[in-house]
Amino acid sequence: MSGHGFHVHGPHDHELEHATHAEAKHPSSGTIAVVTAVLATVGALFSYMGGATQANAGLYKNNAAIKKTEASNQWNYYQAKSSKQNLAEIALVLVSDDKRAAFKEDVERYKKEKAEIKAAAEKLEAESTDWDKQSDGQMHLHHRWAQATTALQISIALAAMALLTGRKWLEWGMFGVAGLGGLLGVAALLHF
């Protein structure tokens, strides 16, 4: 209040006066503060994408392992049919003529079954390989997102140092590293 030549300052008046002096000392502090907020927001998005791609990579690797196990089961089944076929072929030689026809049918049936089992096993192996490739691709993207996030975090640290010291080269460094982080984020977005 100002009455009779006496003025009482509110607590915020003192802070506004300091902010005005700080702005005069560091004219770009407002810009740096806004850029820092934007960098933190973009960094949070990049971090989310990095986590999502890492989770996808794990899921895809798990799918690859499941398909590999299924293929292994098929190959074991194939081996069992081969053993039965071999026993039937030995029986062809050892049994009398009147029983050979049944064993010859068994040999032919096992050959047919083995061909089907082999095709199924090879298909499962191809699926496993495909899941592995997808997992590797997601891990590559995860690394890109992590690099972009790290660059933005470094840029935010440079912004804080620029505000505290008033050094212009730190401010330019902040913008440069932020630009690098942005480029890495775009590279991740475009799957490079």
So what's the pLDDT on residue 55?
Answer: 97
Q: What is the mean pLDDT of residues 153-181?
A: 93
CA distance 166 to 176: 17
**Would 18 be classed as within a structural domain?**
no
Does the predicted TM-score (pTM) go above 0.85? no
Q: Domain count of the chain?
A: 1
Establish if 7 belongs to a structural domain: no
Please indicate, yes or no, if residue 4 is contained in any of the structural domains.
no
Within-domain flag for 178: yes
Domain that holds residue 128: 30-189
Indicate the helix (H) or strand (E) that contains 76.
helix 29-94
Average pLDDT value for residue range 147-170: 93
- Three-class secondary structure of residue 6 per DSSP: strand
Residue 128 lies in a domain: yes
pLDDT greater than 70 at residue 104: yes
Kindly state whether residue 25 falls inside one of the protein's structural domains: no
